[in-house]
Structure 1
Amino acid sequence: MKGIMHHLEIYVSDLKESKDFWEWLLFKLGYKEYQKWDKGISYILNDSYIVFVQAEERFLDIPYHRCRVGLNHLAFYGESKGFVDEITNELRKKEIRILYEDKHPYAGGRDHYAVYFESPDRMKVEVVAE
């Protein structure tokens, strides 16, 4: 277990919107709902979990930006190129912004098949073919 991430906690501007966005993706990746309370929700896969917490109103005037100091993006393994394509199609149906569309699915290089997109708070998310 040494070195495996235990959990990741992300504060969000709108918990309901974030839940709607993240839940479909995390469920497709094999996560299950883990904990739920008034101001947060978590999803678990094996021994690691991701937590989303509603940010306090007083902090909402400073929006997240992935190019500032802090977390840039989250990257998840997909099952295959076909899985990445399936995610991409669902993103388009949901009208979720796909990043680097002009270079998709090789925006990370010729040997890196992936889709990049944004969460409601504009955090970059990546799903990579194994």
Structure 2
Amino acid sequence: MIGGLHHVELWVPDLARAGRSWRLGETYIVVEESPALTSDVHDRRRPGLNHLAFHVGDRVDSLVAAAPSHGWTLLFPDQHPYAGGPAHYAGYLVDEDGFEVELVASS
């Protein structure tokens, strides 16, 4: 599936209270408790939405290359395209407001 939602990740202050994850087909929601949570100032690392991830087929590299002209900056450039792990080819982008998207290659 190209262009479909891959997953949504939510960061919460209390994982036991929020539960772990939910899945419907290939789309899932991840709920994580993270020691990296910050204050209540709007920040992608605070409780709530961390990022949206999309299936992009084989377009990770072309989309990442075009991203700066649309206001997006590559996160983790020293680890790109394996910032999510050695078997996860993806691009992680952030905009000037701190919103993050993950562009996930087909496996």
Question: TM > 0.5 between the two?
Answer: yes
**Which residue pairs with 2:3 in the alignment?**
29
Give, in whole Å, the separation in 2 of the partners of 1:64 and 1:29: 27
Q: CA deviation at 1:79?
A: 1.2
Whose RCO is larger (CA < 8 A, sep 6+)?
Answer: 2
Identity of aligned residues (%): 41
Residue 63 to residue 90, structure 1, CA distance change in 2 (3 Å): farther
Structure with the bigger percentage of helix = 1
TM-score where L is the length of structure 2: 0.57
| Greater C-alpha Rg | 1
Give, in whole Å, the separation in 2 of the partners of 1:77 and 1:86: 14
**Which residue pairs with 1:64 in the alignment?**
42
Give, in whole Å, the separation in 2 of the partners of 1:121 and 1:63: 12
Equivalent residue runs for 1:37-56 within 5 Å:
none
Q: Which runs of 5+ in 2 are unaligned?
A: 5-39
**Which residue pairs with 1:128 in the alignment?**
104
Q: Secondary structure at the match of 2:72?
A: coil
Check whether the contact 2:44–2:51 (CA below 8 A) recurs between aligned residues: yes
Q: Secondary structure at the match of 2:57?
A: coil
Give, in whole Å, the separation in 2 of the partners of 1:68 and 1:117: 17
Structure with the bigger percentage of strand = 2
**Which residue pairs with 2:79 in the alignment?**
103
TM-score where L is the length of structure 1: 0.47
Q: Which runs of 5+ in 1 are unaligned?
A: 1-27, 31-61
Give, in whole Å, the separation in 1 of the partners of 2:52 and 2:92: 10
RMSD over aligned CA atoms reads: 2.2
Q: Note if 1:87 corresponds to 2:63.
A: yes
Q: Secondary structure at the match of 2:48?
A: coil
